[in-house]
Amino acid sequence: MNNNTETPVTIIGLGLMGRALAGAFLKAGHPTTVWNRTASKADQLVAEGARLAPTVGDALKAGSLTIICVTDYTALYELVGANDVELDGTILINLTSGSSAQAREAGRWAEQRGARYLDGAIMAIPSAVGTADAVILHSGPQADFQAHESTLGALGTVSYLGADHGLASLYDVAGLAMMWSVLNAWLQGTAMLRTAGVDAATYAPFAQQIATGVAEWLPGYAEQIDSGSFPAEVSALETDARAMEHLIEESEAVGVNAELPKLLKTMADRAIAAGHGGEQYPVLIEEFGKLRNA
């Protein structure tokens, strides 16, 4: 592992996140080269000690590793895929948001150009970059990650997921699914309680307790999914479905949107119709694992 805090790094792309990445490296003492189409976005970083490269090719040559954080994968190819840009022997870490398929294709493309390539995802807002609260996911060849793990640690809590270049993107969107699901469930309950004069601030601590309690079920439920066996140790799905019906009825009775609980009930009903009513809730993984046309 490289523990040299003087390792030179390059950042290509200076949006809000790119500037945060460069700032974190500068703060950690790394010689930092930056490049952006709009050069003025580098002004503050240059004032803090960064070097502004005149071209993308020059930027790539300046660092031991190059981190790319641009709008999308199209921009990635436009910038580092130009004929006059030499990639052979470079280490590219792409923190641009995209799909797992795009990440895998970029990995093949980069390796064909002679580059070492890691794909990644930033699970944080720009202001958190450089702190332990910023979780940075990486996927690709393990040896390449380990060689630069210490340097990447300047950005936050770094995590290696596996050799499949698409894993970071998949974890990213899976995390978004968790985030939105928790928030949507809270908003459903908040909307219902507001009809009785209970404000969101009053309900929030109760909702936190519920969310924390449910999160503790996940390891045990994961064992059921991985084993393919769903004994009803706590509650059978058909019992949960009756509670869903109560949630739907109560929502409609107080004049609150019931689309979300109706969707959950529809999925549960399909699983019950398939003979899974006596099994535990994680058996719904079979429904989530099916692509259905709208």
Note the pLDDT tens digit of each residue in 141-172. 999 999 999 999 999 999 999 999 999 999 99
Angle among Cα 235, 247, 284 to the nearest 5 degrees reads 45
**Whole-number percent of the chain with pLDDT over 70:** 98
Q: Is the dihedral of CA 61, 65, 68, 69 positive or negative?
A: negative
Segment 175-181 shows an average pLDDT of 95
* Distances 258 to 182, 255, 287 between C-alpha atoms, Å: 16, 9, 20
* Distances 217 to 56, 173, 210, 222 between C-alpha atoms, Å: 48, 21, 11, 9
Q: What is the DSSP track for 13-64?
A: --SHHHHHHHHHHHHTT--EEEE-SSGGGGHHHHHTT-EE-SSHHHHHHH-S
Helices 259-271 & 237-253 angle (0-180, nearest 10): 160
**Whole-number percent of the chain with pLDDT over 90:** 94
Q: Which residues touch 158 (CB under 8 Å, ≥6 apart)?
A: 136, 138, 149, 152
How confident is residue 291, by pLDDT bands cut at 50, 70 and 90?
A: confident
Full-model pTM: 0.90
Give the pairing type, strands 51-52 and 116-123: unpaired
pLDDT digits (tens, 9 = 90+) for 37-64: 999 999 999 999 999 999 999 999 998 8
Segment 167-193 shows an average pLDDT of 97
- pLDDT at res. 293: 67
Helices (H) and strands (E) in the chain, counts: 12, 8
Segment 73-87 shows an average pLDDT of 90
How confident is residue 2, by pLDDT bands cut at 50, 70 and 90?
A: very low
Query: Do 49 and 183 meet the contact criterion of CB atoms below 8 Å apart?
Result: no
Number of CB atoms found within 10 A of residue 82's CB: 11
DSSP at 136: E
How confident is residue 1, by pLDDT bands cut at 50, 70 and 90?
A: very low
